[in-house]
Structures are given as structure tokens and as C-alpha cells.
Amino acid sequence: MKIAVLIKQVPDTQSVLKINAAENWVVEDNLVFTANESDTYALEEALLMKEALSGEVVVCTLGPERAGQVLKDALAKGADRALFLRDDTFSQLDSGGAARVFARSLKEEKFDLILLGLQADDTGDAQLGPMLAEELNLPHVTLVVHTELLDGRLKVKQELEGGWFQHIEVDLPALLTIQSGINKARYASLRGIMAMKSKEIKQLTAADLGLNSSDLMPDQTLQRLYLPPKIKETVFLEGAPEEVAAQLVEKLAHEAKVL
């Protein structure tokens, strides 16, 4: 099995986010960055498949110089080699553009399986998987919560809305977007960290991939990023029970207007 895993570097979900002056992204100074959560489960699923069937796991990211860290972490966990899509012109990509760039970098390698997370924790678009599958003309299943390899096929369980699931069989090659919690993602071992240092991280630019400015042109642009207005407030009423009851009646009558 030759498996590609896409991993995005995103701000840690515990970060305190501030919106930048241009209101088009967050202030990145002093942010802690980490691998997108669902991508870590996609990597684990790939490593488990490789351990069961042998083969190769190739991790791939697109981002600024700092994003190379997610590749090093994945190589330390057991991935075999990495592709780093690194070009300043990639900074304006929307999901469609990113799908075109990933498609160019993965197409010639003829992977049996491409795995990625169900969505990126920073932008939350959940579009890259289906768009990349379309670019590569592959069958795809989103929100996968279980995989089982059959003879040359893959049986997967997909999460639907409202607590429902469905079971689907797909031919390989295929693309899956993985739901968080499908497995227990491993930590890198000391041996893995040492081994990582000798593994290949291949950098590819737009020119290396034969992409021109029209391939990278976004169809979607972010107009404005803002914090949601605070419209609800919890008020704690204090005092003796009679005083609290009187305050409550007052508020129900004059603020909530339900009495």
C-alpha cells in the first residue's frame, strides 16, 4: 500500500486568538502551531495500514517555512518520506487552489490511498478532500470513522448527521477524509526522532509543479474576520430567596417580557 497523508499546520486550539489590523487573519506572533487534529488520526490510520500490509506512507504539507515541523513530527512517528509544498505564491490559495497544487504533487506518484482530516481546525472549510478527489478523479468518502481493507477494496464506515452511520465499499485508489477519534494517535519514540533526521523532505515550488498564476488564482476570498457579537449574557441573582424571587419577577416582566 502506498499511502499519502495530508497534514496542515494550524494554531493550537488552546491559543488565545487576536484578529489582525487588516481583519483578514489572526495575529500569528507568539502563537503556538501544531498539526491539525484530524490529520493526526489520518496519519495514524495510514501507519496502522502500513504495519498490517507493508508499503509506504508519504506525508505532505503546504505552508510557510514553519509548517515543515509537522512533517518532521510525522516522520518521527514512522512516515517514510515527506513532500513540502513551499512557495510564497501559495499564501493566497483557497481550497480549490490548494486542491490543484496537491493534485499536481501527488498525481505522478500513483498512491493507492490518500488520507486527510475531515476539516482544518483554522478555516473549517471541509472542502479540500472532495475537491482533491475531483482533481485526481478518485472516489472519495468523507467523515470516515472506521476502515477495513478487503481484497483490493476498502470498506469504510461514514458518520452522517443525527447519530447515523453508513457503510460504503470503495475501489482503490481512493481518498478518505478521517474523523477525529477513529484510532489512538501515537507519540513519536526516541528512536523515531533519531530516524527522522535521515528521512527525505522534498520541497516543491509552484514552478517545480508546472503551476502558473491562473492555477493559483483564488475563487473565494475572505472579506472580513471578526469576533461574533456578544448577544447573550448570564446574570447571577444574589441575595435572600425572597429578594432573588422579586428580582427574577422584575426581570421576567420587564426585560424578558414573558410575564
Summarize as ranges the residues that interact with ligand FAD (CB under 6 A). Answer: 126-127, 130-131, 142-143, 159-161
Nearest CA to 143 out of 218, 230, 41 is that of: 41
* Min CB(127)–ligand FAD separation in Å: 4
**Smaller CB distance to ligand FAD: residue 58 or 154?**
154
C-alpha cell at position 50: 502500513
Residue carrying C-alpha cell 489572526: 26
DSSP string, 149-182: E-SSEEEEEEE-GGG-EEEEEEESSEEEEEPTTS
What CA–CA distance (Å, rounded) separates 132 from 126? Answer: 11
**Nearest to ligand FAD of 26, 126 (CB atom):** 126
Question: Is 57 or 141 the residue whose CB approaches ligand FAD more closely?
Answer: 141
Task: Provide the minimum distance between the beta carbon of 36 and ligand FAD in the complex, in angstroms, as a whole number.
Answer: 16
Q: Cα(76)–Cα(73) distance, rounded to whole angstroms?
A: 5
Whose CB is nearest to ligand FAD? 130
- Give dist(CA 135, CA 118) in Å, integer: 17
Q: Of the two residues 116 and 211, which places its CB atom closer to ligand FAD in the complex? A: 116
Minimum Å distance from CB 247 to ligand FAD? 35
- Report the b/e string of 111-142 with b at 16+ CB within 10 A: bbbbbbbbbbbbeeebbbbbbbbebbebebbb
- Name the minimum Å distance from CB 166 to ligand FAD: 11
Between 163 and 241, CB nearer to ligand FAD: 163
Q: Could you tell me the smallest distance in angstroms from the CB atom of residue 159 to ligand FAD?
A: 5
Amino acid at 62: L
